[in-house]
């Protein structure tokens, strides 16, 4: 039997059944469900499926111009290479080169819209053969003049309303700013960035003449069969997509990569299963990137330190037809007060690889600017940055006047200051020196908007009382398997090892997928709702009241009766499906997770290099579902922040649009020597408006603001203000 239970969030406020759990596993740092598989090399990535089968391999031919049209593709020489099965080119490949996720990505057939855009794919019996033959494909172009520099502002246009409303204003900022006692007006720039997940975008695809089976590294399964259907002409219901284990995504795998489409076209054309793994250079040049920004921050403040008006105006880039924009002002809408406000975004069109979602789209770049600005203003006012933030804590969302669902920003700041020893901060830049190192401390706020997404999950209880959770959710390394296991175990009164979790199959109940920090909370809520249905079903079979029924160690306890699940099930499996719908809570309350970062740096007076000595993040994100995986997410965010503060810079050649540093040798990310002991503290928190779990998103919280805590510490150490990221040695000296 299968029953369906649906919860709309508005009806679920105050639900606390999870707090009545008897297993004591929710929130605990339970070890990773798939940990043993991962460390023993038996959790296969997309490229590793069909091992031992007779498969073919694909290799991409990239465009050698940034803008223009393809005049002709001559594959004669490539096709003559022994072992080459086919060379596919033409509009199908050009369309595949634009990730289908990009909203209304306006790919014009036959057009080249960025350097190294895939224009053909060679399918051969061996990888080496495909790679060799790809170099023999001759493509002729009519090249056109391209636009590669954000500062040139050649074409400026309005973004789409995704992932936020691009323009949110209130009152009359210009007049208020003109009257302000203190007028802060500075411009910050952030470069383009790459996500560079350890597992490259990769696909194994198999066409059996009727059905297409696809293993691909992908964050969001629900829309994948439909997208592949458009590209291949195969009906969506004849396409199955598997993505059970993923070596990182960070937004770059929200859309299907060109590998997925090309592997499908390849297997249909050749009748053999086809594998395509993007090379690291392909990942950098043919997936998506984070757009560079120019951000003007204007803040009006009274001499006493009250913010009266706030403006954050961002230019960011994207390619023609793409409406997505890096929403740098996303936190500026609600983080700080001011009656008169502007948050705005423009897209400067460039003929460069599409800009799309990258970990904490918006906050990750915007708070590099605004948290630096707050530090500068506090300095100017002679106020401690902690005190300045305490003085400017709004009671409601200053843009909309809606209440915050829960907001522990000041608690995070105060707890962080206490633990870090903030009162020992050098009072003036350059005043603390150890040999040739200047020492400084800096801090910044963190916030990340919270979303609850529609999501569903099935739970099947087998006659022996084991539970299996099945959902089309993914685990991109964030801990989804473990968290869903914990929720089901706690709700159903089962030990962890009596709950199995199956993810990453497009035939399972459709899920929110992993993105935007909503995964654990949304998919977890669907498991919660399914668990409620299962509890009701068990209760009805023993004539007990579901509300008061206690489930513990595989038994249902009602009054003085204690019945093993196996005795209730009587040999029959039960299957239930739960679905969470967000309802109106996100409009009626303003939801975000909050935090604070504290950093100590040493800056070398001879070389200008910065060493991070200590980094502490305090976060409050509703109920923490797994302390270990949540903390690990924060470590990841802190390390990205180190990269953004000091190293990362995706260099686009302004003459020809080439992404120059297209691998991990040239694109510098933090290595162990750059990362000190990291400290993360998660405050006790509950947000009953955010989800039935009372949790909020945490995956992208710690990256927000952390880079500014580092550059603020650099200023405190040596007196150099960084507004042009990253803080490389030349800017410090």
Please identify every residue annotated as catalytic.
700
User: Please, which of residues 182-221 interact with ligand MOS by CB under 6 A?
Assistant: 219
Binding residues for ligand MOS restricted to 249-278, rule: CB under 6 A = 249-251, 254
* Cα–Cα distance measured from residue 712 to residue 388, given in angstroms and rounded to the nearest whole number: 14
# binding residues, ligand MOS (CB under 6 A): 11
Stretch that binds ligand MOS, among 245-253, 271-279, 432-440, 456-464 (CB under 6 A): 245-253
Which residue, judged by CB position, is nearest to ligand MOS in the bound state? 251
Cα dihedral 211, 212, 218, 223 sign: negative
CA–CA separation, 32 vs 339, rounded Å?
47
Strand bridging mode 592-604 / 610-620? antiparallel
| 370 contacts: CB under 8 Å, gap ≥ 6 | 297, 312, 331, 332, 335, 336, 708
Nearer to ligand MOS, 290 or 389 (CB): 290
Footprint on residues 217-236 left by ligand MOS (CB under 6 A): 219
3-state secondary structure 181-236: CEEEEEEEEECEECCCCCCCCEEEEEECCCCEEEEECCCCCCCHHHHHHHHHCCCH
CB atoms within 10 A of CB 526: 34
Structure tokens belonging to residue 210: 């009727």
CB of 383 to ligand MOS, least distance (A): 34
Range 679-708, binding ligand MOS (CB under 6 A): none
- As measured in angstroms, the least distance from the Cβ of 369 to ligand MOS is 19
Regarding 357 and contact with ligand MOS (CB under 6 A), the answer is yes
Single out the residue of 231, 275, 345, 359 in contact with ligand MOS (rule: CB under 6 A).
359
Closer CB to ligand MOS, 250 or 481, in the complex: 250
**Continuous segment of H or E residues that includes residue 490:** helix 480-492
Q: How far is the CB of 365 from ligand MOS (least distance, A)?
A: 12
Nearer to ligand MOS, 324 or 528 (CB): 324
Mark the segment that binds ligand MOS (CB under 6 A) among 227-235, 332-340, 358-366, 581-589.
358-366
Selected range binding ligand MOS among 14-22, 354-362, 367-375, 537-545, rule: CB under 6 A: 354-362
CB of 330 vs ligand MOS, minimal distance in Å = 12
638 three-state secondary structure: helix
Q: Give least dist CB 636 to ligand MOS, A.
A: 12
Q: Which stretch binds ligand MOS (CB under 6 A): 233-241, 330-338, 351-359, 374-382?
A: 351-359
CA 492 to chain centre: 31
Figure out which of the listed residues 176, 358, 438, 732 binds ligand MOS, where binding follows CB under 6 A.
358
Phi-psi region of 669 (alpha: psi -120 to 50; beta: other; left: phi over 0): beta
Pairwise CA distance, residues 262 & 347, whole Å: 30
Nearer to ligand MOS, 263 or 330 (CB): 330
**Tokens (6 digits) for 378:** 């506090």
* Nearer residue to ligand MOS within complex by CB, 565 or 640: 640
Q: Which stretch binds ligand MOS (CB under 6 A): 57-65, 94-102, 353-361, 452-460?
A: 353-361
Please identify, among the stretches 246-254, 295-303, 345-353, 443-451, the one whose residues bind ligand MOS according to the rule CB under 6 A. Answer: 246-254
Would you give the binding string for ligand MOS spanning residues 514-533, x where CB under 6 A is met?
A: -xx-----------------
- In the complex with ligand MOS, which residue's Cβ is closer, 471 or 633? 633
Is the Cβ of residue 314 or residue 512 nearer to ligand MOS in the bound state? 512
- Please tell me the number of Cα atoms within 13 Å of 111 on its side-chain side: 16
CB atoms within 10 A of CB 46: 29
| Least CB distance to ligand MOS at residue 249 (A) | 6
Q: Give the whole-angstrom CA distance, residue 452 versus residue 693.
A: 11
> H helices of 137-184, where?
173-179
How far is CA 390 from each of CA 112, 305, 337, 531, rounded to the nearest angstrom?
Answer: 51, 10, 11, 42
Measured from the CB atom, the residue of 15 and 475 that comes closer to ligand MOS is 475
Site string for ligand MOS, 480-499 (x = CB under 6 A): --------------------
- Name the residue among 118, 58, 87 with its Cα closest to residue 258: 118
Q: Which run of H or E residues covers position 270?
A: helix 258-270
* Closer by beta carbon to ligand MOS, 308 or else 629: 629
Q: What binding mask, one character per residue, do residues 74-113 give for ligand MOS by CB under 6 A, x or -?
A: ----------------------------------------
Q: Please identify, among the stretches 88-96, 243-251, 448-456, 725-733, the one whose residues bind ligand MOS according to the rule CB under 6 A.
A: 243-251
**Is residue 449 near ligand MOS by the rule CB under 6 A?**
no
Of the two residues 324 and 422, which places its CB atom closer to ligand MOS in the complex? 324
Distance CA 347, CA 320 (A): 10
Contact pattern from residue 531 through residue 570 relative to ligand MOS, giving x for each residue in contact according to CB under 6 A and a dash for the rest: ----------------------------------------
Q: Determine if residue 240 is left, alpha or beta; phi over 0 gives left, psi from -120 to 50 gives alpha, anything else beta.
A: beta
5, 532 contact by CB (below 8 A): yes
Asked whether position 361 contacts ligand MOS by CB under 6 A, the answer is yes
Select from 347, 337, 452, 354 the least CA-distant residue to 388.
337
Quick count: other Cβ atoms within 10 Å of Cβ 28? 16
Given the rule CB under 6 A, which residues bind ligand MOS?
A: 219, 249-251, 254, 357-359, 361, 515-516
């Amino acid at each position: 039997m299968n029953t369906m239970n649906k919860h709309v969030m508005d009806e679920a406020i105050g639900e606390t059944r999870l707090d009545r759990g008897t297993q004591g596993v929710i929130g605990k740092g339970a070890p990773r469900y798939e940990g043993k598989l991962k460390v023993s090399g038996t959790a296969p990535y997309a490229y590793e499926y069909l091992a031992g089968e007779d498969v073919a391999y694909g290799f991409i031919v990239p465009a050698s111009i940034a803008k223009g049209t393809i005049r002709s593709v001559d594959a004669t020489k490539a096709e003559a290479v022994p072992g080459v099965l086919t060379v596919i080119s033409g509009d199908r490949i050009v369309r595949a080169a634009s990730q289908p996720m990009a909203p209304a990505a306006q790919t014009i057939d036959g057009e080249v819209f960025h350097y190294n855009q895939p224009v053909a794919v060679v399918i051969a019996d061996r990888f080496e053969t495909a790679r060799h033959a790809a170099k023999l494909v001759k493509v002729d172009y009519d090249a056109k003049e391209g636009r590669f520099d954000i500062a040139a502002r050649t074409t400026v246009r309005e973004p789409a309303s995704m992932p936020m409303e691009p323009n949110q204003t209130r009152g009359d900022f210009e007049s208020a700013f003109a009257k302000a006692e203190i007028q802060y007006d500075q411009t910050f720039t952030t470069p383009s960035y790459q996500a560079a997940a350890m597992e490259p975008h990769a696909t194994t695809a198999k066409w059996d003449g009727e059905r297409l089976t696809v293993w691909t590294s992908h964050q969001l399964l629900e829309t994948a069969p439909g997208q592949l259907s458009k590209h291949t002409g195969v009906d969506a219901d004849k396409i199955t997509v598997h993505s059970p284990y993923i070596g990182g995504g960070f937004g770059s795998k929200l859309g299907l990569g060109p590998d997925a489409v090309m592997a499908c076209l390849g297997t249909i054309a050749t009748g053999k299963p086809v594998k395509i793994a993007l090379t690291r250079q392909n990942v950098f040049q043919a997936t998506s990137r984070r757009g560079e920004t120019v951000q003007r921050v204007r803040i009006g403040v009274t001499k006493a330190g009250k913010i009266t008006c706030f403006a954050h105006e961002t230019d960011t880039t994207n390619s023609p037809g793409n409406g997505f924009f890096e929403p740098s002002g996303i936190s500026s809408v609600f983080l700080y007060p001011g009656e008169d406000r502007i948050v705005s975004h423009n897209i400067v069109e460039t003929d460069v690889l599409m800009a799309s979602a990258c970990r904490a789209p918006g906050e990750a770049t915007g708070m590099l600017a605004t948290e630096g600005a707050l530090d500068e203003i506090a300095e100017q006012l002679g106020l401690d940055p902690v005190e300045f933030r305490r003085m400017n804590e709004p009671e409601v969302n200053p843009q909309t006047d809606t209440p915050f669902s829960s907001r522990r920003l000041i608690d995070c700041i105060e707890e962080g200051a206490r633990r870090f020893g903030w009162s020992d901060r050098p009072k003036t830049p350059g005043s603390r020196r150890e040999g040739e190192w200047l020492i400084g401390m800096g801090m910044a706020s963190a916030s990340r908007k919270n979303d609850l997404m529609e999501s569903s999950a099935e739970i099947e209880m087998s006659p022996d009382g084991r539970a299996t959770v099945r959902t089309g959710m993914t685990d991109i390394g964030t801990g989804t398997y473990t968290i869903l296991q914990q929720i089901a175990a706690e709700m159903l009164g089962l030990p962890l090892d009596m709950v199995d979790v199956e993810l990453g199959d497009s035939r399972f109940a459709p899920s929110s997928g992993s993105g935007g920090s909503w995964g654990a909370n949304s998919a977890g809520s669907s498991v919660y709702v399914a668990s409620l249905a299962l509890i009701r079903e068990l209760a009805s079979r023993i004539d007990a009241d579901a509300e008061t029924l206690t489930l513990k160690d595989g038994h249902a306890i009602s009054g003085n009766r204690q019945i093993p699940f196996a005795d209730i099930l009587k040999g029959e499996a039960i299957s239930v499906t739960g679905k969470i719908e967000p309802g109106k809570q996100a409009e009626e309350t303003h939801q975000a997770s909050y935090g604070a970062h504290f950093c100590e740096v040493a800056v070398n007076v001879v070389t200008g290099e910065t060493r991070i000595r200590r980094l502490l993040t305090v976060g409050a994100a509703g109920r923490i579902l797994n302390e270990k995986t949540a903390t690990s997410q924060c470590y990841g965010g802190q390390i990205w922040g180190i990269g953004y503060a000091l190293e990362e810079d995706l260099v686009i050649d302004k003459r020809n649009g080439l992404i120059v540093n297209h691998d991990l040798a040239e694109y510098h990310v933090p290595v162990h020597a750059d990362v000190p002991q990291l400290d993360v503290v998660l405050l006790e928190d509950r947000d009953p408006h955010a989800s039935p779990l009372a949790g909020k998103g945490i995956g992208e919280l710690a990256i927000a603001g952390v880079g500014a805590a580092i550059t603020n510490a650099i200023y405190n150490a040596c007196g150099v203000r960084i507004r042009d990221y990253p803080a490389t040695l030349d800017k410090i000296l």
